[in-house]
Structure 1
Amino acid sequence: MNGFQPDKPMTRFEMMKWMASGLAASDKSFKQALADTANTLLPTPETYKGGIADKQVPFIAVIRGTGIITGMQDGMFRPADPVSKAELAASLLRCLDYHHFVNGYSKRYKFVRLEELGMSLEAAIADAYDTGYMPHLGV
């Protein structure tokens, strides 16, 4: 995904790549994890049916490994499907929570609605930028 295109639908894979790239930019161990998982076999039905391209594997493996995204109830990741605003918001909160946990920040997010946190989606994205998690976002 290149540039900020708020009106363009984002696929589930683009979201996973965005988050994995953010983790890799903020921590060298995640950068190494992307390299280490390049030839990983993901145990999902899509892998066996050709629904996950080889170039997608490292990003999905890292995000799955952190628990930020675990797939759908049927075990599928559906990387080509569009991501909903709700999925994006929930995944972003999980990603921020994981990043804060790894870096020892005291601020932690619970998996609740943004409104319950008194936070808008824009504020959550700005927080991702401010904490250094997504420096390439440039909001």
Structure 2
Amino acid sequence: MSDDDLVRGLWSTMAEGWAAGDAARFAAVFGPDVDFVTVRGEDLRGRAAVEEVHARLFASAFRDTRLVPNFLLVRPLADGVHLVHVTTGIVPLGVLTHAQAVVTRRDGGWEITAFHNMIPNAPRGTTP
């Protein structure tokens, strides 16, 4: 399996955790020291914070939803470091997010070490 495939696999694990409402599984792909910016601009530090916030999400309006990732870019920056851009649909809510992530190989595995997530604005001239 190529490094690109392994990096993309992190989103498969994330999606599985989301669909199951399992915040620990969702957060497992993030490094213990991840810097994570939510769509609301919250700055989360560490995997435990990501898990805590997502446990609350999975107990709210996001219960029984799933993530559908679409990769826009998976680019190696250096040995063991990839930049990833991915849009993710939250189904069936119709929410679309766009994330930029730095993915790093550590201890033989890959983990997300920086993650910035946002909800894109509608293109100019369109009605939301």
**TM > 0.5 fold call:** no
Report the TM-score, using the length of structure 1 for normalisation: 0.25
Going by fraction, where is strand more abundant, 1 or 2? 2
Q: Answer 1 or 2: higher relative contact order, Cα 8 Å, separation at least 6.
A: 1
